Amino acid sequence: MRRMNTRQALLITILPSLLAGLWACAPSNRQAPTQTSIPSTPTPTSTPTPIPPTPTPTPLTCLAEPGRVKKESIDTVKPAQEFIIFLPPCYGEMDTTRYPVLYLLHGLTYNDDQWVRIGATDTASRLIISGETPPFIIVLPDDRYWNQPAGEGFGDRVINLVIPYVDANYRTLNDRNYRALGGLSLGGGWAIHLGFRHPELFGALGLHSPAVFKEDAPFLENMIQAIPADGRPILWFDLGDRDSELTDGRALEAILARNDYIHEFHLYSGDHTENYWSLHMEEYLRWYTGNWNMQAVDP
């Protein structure tokens, strides 16, 4: 048996290691597992919903327009009872608002448009639009039949016909504190006659150069004393220093003072004319409306 030489023995020793190394270096046909990349879902950008601006109330255009003057007629009596009514600016648009009422009575030989002609409705519109007075209604009853035997019927009509009709058909504040009565000349006489007899209906009386009725003159003191002190309407009384009714007017003022009837008395320069009353129109309306709240009251 032949012995292996040294070279052959060495080859046999290292050959397995060499082959193992070559096997390790050979390229492999196996593929490494592929890792699938899942794309991240983008976070949505939040767009805030815009908040609409607070709407600005549109001012009523009627607040800058004059009030409405209209003719009315109550036909349930003969002759029909006519009157003019002044409705303040925005009366039609502000359909839930109720208003104080001023009743103004005209003078001898005139009719219901006298107060309109001397500036009552124009002045009222101006003062209301400017915000210097609260909005209010003016009622001007017609007494064109003053010279007929049924003239006394005018007072009955004002109390029992005109006032109930106005309260039923217009948005009034049906309360004596929001109802005033005034008159000039003959109308002032009616204001005395009706106001002192029906103090439960009127919170204020305005006497502008009043022609005191002859049948009332002897009883004025009794009429005043019959009104409870806390039920007396507040009272305005003015007169011109050249007025034809000056003597009777001074006598009335003395009766008021003697009976502690709280009132305003004004003796102005002037006479018994439409020009005199027109000059004081704004003062009259400021006095009437000054006794009411500065804002009409909702029902």
Q: Which domains does the chain have, with CATH numbers?
A: 62-290 (3.40.50.1820)
- Full-model pTM: 0.79
Q: Of 36, 42, 111, 38, whose CA–CA distance to 73 is shortest? A: 111
Torsion of Cα atoms, 208 then 72 then 233 then 281, to 10°: -30
Residue 237: strand, helix, or coil: strand
| pLDDT tens digits, one per residue of 61-99 | 888 899 999 999 999 988 899 999 999 999 999 999 999
Beta bridge partners of 72: 83
Rounded to whole angstroms, the Cα distance separating 168 from 57 reads 32
Inter-residue contact 193 to 155 (CB < 8 Å)? yes
Number of CB atoms found within 10 A of residue 159's CB: 14
Inter-residue contact 125 to 178 (CB < 8 Å)? no
Inter-residue contact 171 to 148 (CB < 8 Å)? no
| pLDDT tens digits, one per residue of 210-228 | 999 999 999 999 999 999 9
Rounded to whole angstroms, the Cα distance separating 108 from 103 reads 17
Number of CB atoms found within 10 A of residue 170's CB: 16
Q: In the structure encoding, which two tokens stand for residue 39, read together? A: 């794309």
Query: Higher pLDDT residue, 25 or 256?
Result: 256
Q: In the structure encoding, which two tokens stand for residue 198, read together? A: 């029906």
Q: In the structure encoding, which two tokens stand for residue 244, read together? A: 């034809």
Q: Of 292, 297, 287, 240, whose CA–CA distance to 123 is shortest? A: 287
Q: 291 pLDDT band (50/70/90 cuts)?
A: confident
